Amino acid sequence: MILETISVLATEPAYVGAFVTWFAAPALAAATEPGQFVMLHCSDEGTDPMFARAFSYHRVAAGRFAILYNVVGRGTAWLASRERGDLVRAYGPLGQGYRLPDQAGNLLLVAGGVGAAPLVDLAERAVSAGHQVVALMGARSSAQLLAPSAWPKEVEYVVVTEDGSMGPRGFVTEHLGQYQEWASKIYACGPNAMFASLAEKLRFNGRRQRPEILMEENMPCGWGMCYGCAVFTKHGVRLCCKDGPRFNLFDVY
């Protein structure tokens, strides 16, 4: 684990209520796996909020990385108001990330809302490694969708909205359609309700695709010290921060 004081390069709106912030971070941008996360101290004086907040690596480039986040509380509001050159104390990279297959294959990425964050990094690496990628993103409405330009141009990007304002109406797991059969491997990130629904859809014919999910629990420390992030799997209790956040879908659901 690396501790680094990183500097804000830029913050851009991603969609309504969400931002992408890029950081100059030579150490924390090196040797990451897709699906790993970084802890950011989201306060000037280090006491409010006291605990660092977890964010998935959204994009990684030489010497810098980006996070994609919804503004939901004090920490994320503080982050969104940082300006270029502001410093943020951080540590990472943490957790077990997604594993890409050795052989080129057909990868289906299923994103629920801001769960798209780590899937963009995964898509970039997958495309570079010669995989075919379909990214299926679900959101409440068109205002909460990532722009197509956020994904590598080789990715087929399919959207589903709960209100039908873009793409088919409903939940993303109701529209796996032909992509489920096409996929040789499935990756997902989103709310727990989405994972439960995905497990129902895939229970009988999706086991061969060994779906990998990234789970989210409250993480006071992020590296296995506080035992505050328990996940109850079929094989016993696991720590989301250390044993995860990547889990096999059917080990949990």
Ligand X SMILES: Cc1cc2nc3c(=O)[nH]c(=O)nc-3n(C[C@H](O)[C@H](O)[C@H](O)COP(=O)(O)OP(=O)(O)OC[C@H]3O[C@@H](n4cnc5c(N)ncnc54)[C@H](O)[C@@H]3O)c2cc1C
Report the partner that residue 225 touches, choosing among ligand X, ligand FES, none (CB closer than 5 to 8 A by kind).
ligand FES
Q: Using alpha carbons only, what angle is made at residue 226 by residues 2 and 236, rounded to the nearest 5 degrees?
A: 110
* 219 CA to centre of own chain: 15
β-pairing, 64-70 with 18-24? Answer: antiparallel
**Of residues 216 and 243, the one with the C-beta less far from ligand X:** 216
Residue 227 engages ligand FES in binding (rule: CB under 6 A): yes
Residue 70 engages ligand X in binding (rule: CB under 6 A): yes
**Of residues 111 and 239, the one with the C-beta less far from ligand FES:** 239
Q: Give 153: exposed, middle or buried? Use CB within 10 Å, 0-12, 13-18, 19+.
A: exposed
Residue 224 engages ligand FES in binding (rule: CB under 6 A): yes
Report the partner that residue 91 touches, choosing among ligand FES, ligand X, none (CB closer than 5 to 8 A by kind).
none
**φ, ψ dihedrals at 186, nearest 5°:** -125, 135
Give the binding range for ligand FES (CB under 6 A) out of 16-24, 140-148, 192-200, 226-234: 226-234
Residue 49 engages ligand X in binding (rule: CB under 6 A): yes
The number of residues in the chain equals 253
Decide: 133 and 127 in contact? Cβ < 8 Å: yes
As a whole number of angstroms, the distance between CA 63 and CA 127 comes to: 21
Decide: 126 and 118 in contact? Cβ < 8 Å: no
Q: Minimum distance from CB of 240 to ligand X (Å)?
A: 6
Interface residue with ligand X, options 110, 135, 186, 219 (CB under 6 A): 219
Report the partner that residue 190 touches, choosing among ligand X, ligand FES, none (CB closer than 5 to 8 A by kind).
none
Residue 217 engages ligand X in binding (rule: CB under 6 A): yes
Report the partner that residue 228 touches, choosing among ligand FES, ligand X, none (CB closer than 5 to 8 A by kind).
ligand FES
Report the partner that residue 56 touches, choosing among ligand X, ligand FES, none (CB closer than 5 to 8 A by kind).
ligand X
**φ, ψ dihedrals at 171, nearest 5°:** -90, 150
Residue showing tokens 């096409």: 182
Interface residue with ligand X, options 15, 37, 91, 151 (CB under 6 A): 37
**Of residues 25 and 54, the one with the C-beta less far from ligand FES:** 54
Count of chain residues binding ligand FES (CB under 6 A): 12
As a whole number of angstroms, the distance between CA 175 and CA 162 comes to: 11
As a whole number of angstroms, the distance between CA 115 and CA 156 comes to: 17
Q: Minimum distance from CB of 129 to ligand FES (Å)?
A: 30
Residue 127's CB: how many other CB atoms inside 10 A? 17
Q: Which residues bind ligand FES (CB under 6 A)?
A: 219-222, 224-229, 239, 241
